[in-house]
Amino acid sequence: MNDKNVSGVDRFLELIAVILLGVTTVGTAWCGFQAARWSGENGDLTRIASERHVEGARLFGLATQRVTYDSMVVAKYAEASQERNTALLKFYRQSVVRPDFLPVLDRWEAGVKAGNSAVGVFEDKQYIAGQFADYDKTVAAAEQATRDSQQAGQVADAYVGTTILLAVSLFFAGVTSSFRYRSARMLLLMAATGSLAVAAARLADLPIR
């Protein structure tokens, strides 16, 4: 009778070990898959952020060139305006001034006629913001991609850490059959169950890709 009880307990411990082995094996494979997916996401977002930073540098250069060109045009336009050379002013407006810059020039002329000569063309915040709008938008997108990339990397690292916990659980559950003493097997199964529980708690908080 006692031998039968012992045999039944041992079979129960073996069953628990098999269940733990199955769960941890599946969990390890799942975490490895998710870690690879999030690592790939991290790489893609890093590449996107780099491309957007390069594009931002290009747009900054273009915006700077436009502002430089407009500043030279304004200098010539102001000189012609001071000389009251209406023909030259008309030529500048029709052939030299950028169409997008005409509203700014009109506001500046209106301000000068109103006696507000202290307000320069390039003190127009709306104009400056408009020239660098694409640059600002691209840089913001690049920074967002960088933050997303860092987050994806952190998630990938978390999955790797969880994989290690599951591997520990898998090891403890796998070596139980190597021990003859029931108390040793029970301690190993408890350690495997504890590692699995910690891994499961971590998985519950991790996003899925």
For 14-42, what is each residue's pLDDT tens digit? Answer: 889 999 999 999 999 999 999 999 999 99
Q: Which of 168, 155, 175, 160 is nearest to 195 (CA)?
A: 168
| 176, 13 contact by CB (below 8 A) | yes
pTM: 0.77
Q: Whole-angstrom Cα distance, residue 157 to residue 140? A: 26
Token pair of 13 as six digits? 């411990």
Low-confidence ranges of the chain (pLDDT < 70): 1-7, 116-121
Q: Mean pLDDT for the chain?
A: 89
Give 93's contacts (C-beta < 8 A, 6+ positions apart): 102, 105
Angle between helices 133-174 and 2-82 (to 10 degrees): 170
